[in-house]
Structures are given as structure tokens and as C-alpha cells.
Chain A
Amino acid sequence: MYVAVKGGEAAIDNAHRLLAETRRGDPAVPDMSVAQIREQMRLLVDRVMTEGSLYDPDLAALALKQARGDVIEAVFLVRAYRTTLPRLGATEPVDTGAMTLSRRISATFKDLPGGQVLGPTFDYTHRLVDFSLGDGTAPEPAAEAEPAADAAACPRVTDLLGRAGLLEPSPEDLGAPIGDLTREPVDYPADRAVRLQALARGDEGFILALGYSTQRGYGRTHPFVGEIRVGAVELEVTPEELGFSVGLGSVDMTECQMINQFHGNGPVPPQFTRGYGLVFGQGERKAMAMALVDRSLRAAELGEAVVVPAQDQEFVLAHCDSLQATGFVEHMKLPHYVDFQAELDLVRRLRAEHGARALEDPVQREAAE
């Protein structure tokens, strides 16, 4: 229960002034620009965009600066800013098959048209702290090579495997309305499109832990990484006043195609099933975890028993949003004086009753004496 409390205005104002000064840190150290955060803390910016569910690198970088680097606080700022803006429309669905790739790997197929391209990755680094980064040394320039002839057209791995019928096809677009959880509350059972929207903006740590749980045996789905691709996709909208589509520019996204163990029933021969992940920026861990959880949430659809948390839609979707979670957890620190006063009164009364019963009970009285 919330109770109106007066007082503390001056303390609050001064706390915020102290916050501003503390945020700035030692004034002898140069102030950090938003552009520096955007460029050099890019994966953090990407995470705030993904979980804030708003692509705007400068805004996410500014939010991180304001939040002193607290991801969930930055997500809060981005989500709050979002509510001040009108919705102007929706893009055509992005074509990830036509992505300008900066990275593309498959753990299932070695020889792919277009090849395996590592791009800027932490994979295969030794995870030794690089002390030279501390002294501002410029990095060695990136190597260059002539792109191979097939580099321009890199079909999704799932398109290749799908042609052979070994892989279940993606759910067909029948023109049904697309659920939007920012407009309507989630109804259970939730449609896969709504689940993916929720997972995309869900907390990386939570989704990661759930994905991990499926690998450890809580709803095993035997996953393989069919493909991870990172790069730029073009956005297009068709404004009503124009009547034709216009290019908005491109955004960076990460897509993960998870391939999972077989399913087949009746007339359908056994085939691999799939989980899908798509996030803003370079967010492989999140895209992979999302794909794992997407697949496990399909349990009912694929005739699997729903027995573990990662298969339970309501458990996953109702708890994956970091902002909702932190709102409910953190509100506990706000004044609950009257609530607690009521609880205090109750516990005092119970203790008094307990004491009175003890006096009446000969065994307890004896023990007390």
C-alpha cells in the first residue's frame, strides 16, 4: 500500500544535486561525451536499445551516461522517453537474408555459400586483460581482403536446409494481425509473435539463465546454432501521405537461427525444429538465448509436456521484463511506514495473545517457570 507522505523535498532536491555531482566523478578527469559512449561502449548501447526496445544509439548512450552505466536505469529512461513520442507507423518486415554482414557463422555447416565470416568478435580471444588499452595506444589497423565472389549473396542457412525438407518451415504469413504488447496486455496462451516481442526486449540475464536451464536438462531441446548473423538491415515504411515506400536508413541487428531436435507426426516425416532470435545491434548472447527460449516456449505447439520454467509462457513472459521486475522489487524501498505500522500492531497483538495462552497452559507455564 502506498501512502502519501509529506516532507523530504529539500533532501530529495539535494540528493539529486549530489547524484549529478557524483555522476560526473572526479572533475580532474575529462567529461565523457555521448559520442564516446556510443562508439566505445557499443555493446552496452546495443543492449540498452534492445531492452529499451528502441533503436536510437545516441539516445541509449545518453541514457547510459545519465544512469551512470546502470543498464536497467538506462532502459527505464529510454522506455520513458518512448512514451512521449507518437507512433508514426510500422516498417516492412526486415529482410535479414539481405543483411550487409559484419559477421556470420554457423556451428552446423562448415561450407556455406558466402562463407563463415568472423567479424569483430571476442570468440577465440584469450581473455587476458590488455593493459595497453589503458594508455590510449591506437590499435593496429584492421586487415583487408578482397571480398569473394559469393560474399554479396549469403542466404540464411535455414533457407538452404529448408529446401531439402529437413527443417520445419517458418510459420506462414497469412496476413493475420500482428500482436503488439506495447498496445495490448499479453493474453495467455500468447501468440509466438508476441512471445518473440517480449523475449526481444526481455532482460538478457533472465533470458540467458532460462536458455541455459534448457541446455542443462530443464526442458532439453537439443539445440545447434544453425546460424548467427550480425549486420545492417534496411528499414522501409510506406507513409500514408506518400503511398509509396521510403527507405528510413539502416539499423544493425543480430539474428540467431537455432536448430533443434526432431519432430514429426502422422503425415509429417521427422524434421528439425527451430527457435529464433532477433535483437538490435550486436547482441549474440541475447539472440542465442532468445532463440533457445523461443523454442522451449513452443513446447505445447510441438506436443511436448510443459513441465519446466522455460516452457511456461506465463512464467517467462510475465517475468522477463527488467523494468517491470525492477519496478516491483525496487518499490519496496519506498516508504511503507503505514503498512509496516499495521504489521507491527498485528505482531504485537499476536504476541500478547500468545503470552496470554501461555499463562493458561499449565505445561507451558511450568516450562516458563
Chain B
Amino acid sequence: MPSASQTPPDPGMPDLAMRRRAMARAGTATEGELREALAQAGLTPEAEDLRAPETGLVMVRGRIGGDGRPFNAGEATVTRAAVRLPGGETGFAYQLGRDRTRARLAAILDAHWQRPEARPALEAALAAIAERRAEAAALAARKVAATRVNFFTLARGED
């Protein structure tokens, strides 16, 4: 499994795809990791609330048979936040759970990420977070892989 640090920021990657990746990475970060990422970029976790962090529900959809018509499988708690920086950049966060502090920090990070001067430092911090997640996922995958069944056919006699 390629680790995050081995996937350098792709200069050909469209801005939107990069921003979505940054938002998704911020979404997996702990509050401490988000504070550290901002601090490493020399930023303070301050911004004006466009919308106070709010916890709500999203309906999680599945598909009948896995690949068919959608159905409503059940809901999940989600917290969203929207902030604006003094320079006018707006940042958003949507993430699972009820942690308003974490959502607001992620939105601040998203806003700063859109400033070209802050982006490289934030990208580096987010890549480090993604690498930690990838390492944990790789370890989990190794443990699961050890439970794979290797069938062998018993001799069936004279045939």
C-alpha cells in the first residue's frame, strides 16, 4: 500500500480534487492533530463563524443487492461548520460525529488551505496525518490478511 508521503502533491491534480482530499484528511484528524497542523503552518485557530458549528443527521444510503436501487439504511450524526477569515476566504467542514470543536478547526484549516501562501505547510501537515492513518490501516490489513483461508483439497482416492 503506498503511503501518503509517497504520493506527492500532484501538480496536475485539479484544485478541487486537492481541496476535497485535504478536507477528507482533516476529517480524519483528531483535535490535537488539527491544532498542530495549524500551528505548524504558523496559523492561529481563529476565524469568524459563518455558521456556528451544528450537529445534525445524514441519512446513510445503501443499494439493494449492493449495486441496485438506493434505500435508506439508517442515519449518522454529522457536525458541520463554516467559517470566514479576515481575508474573505470561507472554509467548511462536514464530518461524522458530534465534535463541534473539531469541525470548526477543520473548517478553519479548509479556509486557510485556500490561501496559496498557507497551502504547502498545511498540505505537509495533512500528508503526515494521512500517513499515520495509512500505517494504521496497513497494520489492520496485515492482521486481517493473516485470517485468510488457504484451502487445500484432500486426496479423493482412486479417481
List chain A positions with a Cβ less than 8 A from chain B. 49-50, 53-56, 58-59, 82, 85-94, 96-97, 100-103, 110-111, 115-119, 142-148, 151-152, 156, 158-159, 169-174, 176, 178-182, 192-194, 196-197, 200-201, 235, 237, 239, 241-242, 244-249, 251, 253, 255, 257, 274, 276, 278-280
A97 to B: closest C-beta gap in Å: 6
B13 within 8 A of A: no
List chain B positions with a Cβ less than 8 A from chain A. 1, 16, 20, 23-24, 27-28, 54-78, 80, 82, 92, 94-98, 137, 139-149, 151
Which residue of chain A has the shortest Cβ distance to B24 in the bound complex?
A: A247
Residues in B whose Cβ lies below 8 Å from that of A101: 144
B74 to A: closest C-beta gap in Å: 4
* A178, B92: Cα distance in complex, Å: 28
Does B68 lie within 8 Å of A172, measured CB to CB? Answer: yes
* A194, B73: Cα distance in complex, Å: 9
Interface centre among A86, A193, A248 (most CB of B within 10 A): A248
Residues in B whose Cβ lies below 8 Å from that of A192: 64, 69, 71
* A170, B75: Cα distance in complex, Å: 23
Does A145 lie within 8 Å of B58, measured CB to CB? Answer: no
| Pair count A-B, CB < 8 A | 236
- Contacts A53-B74, A90-B72, A180-B59 given; does A237 touch B94 at CB 8 Å: yes
- Contacts A241-B82, A249-B95 given; does A85 touch B143 at CB 8 Å: no
- Further contacts, 4 of them, CB under 8 A, given A56-B77, A82-B75: A90-B72, A100-B137, A176-B69, A200-B73
Residues in B whose Cβ lies below 8 Å from that of A200: 73-74
- Contacts A116-B149, A170-B64, A248-B58 given; does A280 touch B74 at CB 8 Å: yes
Does B57 lie within 8 Å of A87, measured CB to CB? Answer: yes
- Contacts A59-B98, A119-B147 given; does A196 touch B66 at CB 8 Å: no
- Contacts A93-B70, A249-B96, A276-B64 given; does A117 touch B148 at CB 8 Å: yes
* A257, B62: Cα distance in complex, Å: 13
Does B148 lie within 8 Å of A116, measured CB to CB? Answer: yes
A101 to B: closest C-beta gap in Å: 7
* A29, B141: Cα distance in complex, Å: 37
- Contacts A115-B148, A173-B68 given; does A237 touch B58 at CB 8 Å: yes
Does B80 lie within 8 Å of A239, measured CB to CB? Answer: yes
- Contacts A90-B59, A170-B64, A276-B65 given; does A193 touch B70 at CB 8 Å: yes
Does B146 lie within 8 Å of A142, measured CB to CB? Answer: yes
Residues in B whose Cβ lies below 8 Å from that of A176: 69
Does B70 lie within 8 Å of A173, measured CB to CB? Answer: yes
11 A-B pairs with CB atoms under 8 Å apart are A49-B74, A54-B76, A55-B77, A90-B59, A91-B59, A115-B148, A143-B143, A145-B148, A151-B148, A158-B66, A245-B20
Residues in A whose Cβ lies below 8 Å from that of B1: 152
Does B72 lie within 8 Å of A171, measured CB to CB? Answer: no
* A197, B70: Cα distance in complex, Å: 11
Residues in A whose Cβ lies below 8 Å from that of B61: 90-94, 178
Does A235 lie within 8 Å of B66, measured CB to CB? Answer: no
Does B69 lie within 8 Å of A173, measured CB to CB? Answer: yes
